[in-house]
Amino acid sequence: MKDRSRSFVFVDILLILTMILPVVAGIVIKILTTPASEGIAIAGAQIYFTIPMPFQDLPITESQVNSLLVMISITGLCLYLTHGIRAHVNTKRQLLAEWIVEKVDGMVGENMGEYFSGFGPFVAAILALSALSSLLALFGLYAPTSDINVVAGWAILVFILITYYKCKAGPWQYVKSFGEPVKLLAPLNIISEVATPISMAFRHYGNVLSGAVISVLLASGLQGLSSMVFGALPGVLGEIPFFRVGIPAVLSIYFDVFSGCLQAYIFAMLTMLYVSSGFPQDEYEKRKLKRMRKKIKAQH
Does residue 57 lie within any of the structural domains? no
The whole-angstrom separation of Cα 140 and Cα 145 is 14
Can you give the pLDDT at residue 2? 47
Can you give the pLDDT at residue 24? 93
What single-letter amino acid sits at 139?
F
The whole-angstrom separation of Cα 14 and Cα 76 is 9
* 207 to 154, 221, 225: CA distances (angstroms): 16, 21, 27
Tens digit of pLDDT for each residue in 119-175?
999 999 999 999 999 888 888 888 899 889 999 999 999 999 999 998 887 888 888
What single-letter amino acid sits at 266?
I
Does residue 14 lie within any of the structural domains? no
Can you give the pLDDT at residue 38? 54
Does residue 143 lie within any of the structural domains? no
Residue whose C-alpha is closest to residue 252's, from 128, 137, 118, 151? 137
Range of the domain at 260: 148-299
What single-letter amino acid sits at 183?
K
Q: What is the mean pLDDT of each run of 10 residues along the chain (300 residues)?
A: 72 93 92 69 78 87 93 94 81 88 92 88 93 87 89 93 88 82 82 90 86 75 74 66 66 76 91 89 81 79
Does residue 192 lie within any of the structural domains? yes
Does residue 275 lie within any of the structural domains? yes
Can you give the pLDDT at residue 241? 67
Based on the structure, what is the number of domains in the chain?
A: 1
Can you give the pLDDT at residue 106? 92
pTM of the model: 0.83
Can you give the pLDDT at residue 244? 66
Can you give the pLDDT at residue 277? 87
Can you give the pLDDT at residue 69? 95
Beta bridge partners of 47: 61
Backbone angles phi, psi at 168, to 5 degrees: -65, -30
The whole-angstrom separation of Cα 253 and Cα 41 is 21
Does residue 233 lie within any of the structural domains? yes
Does residue 168 lie within any of the structural domains? yes
Does residue 121 lie within any of the structural domains? no
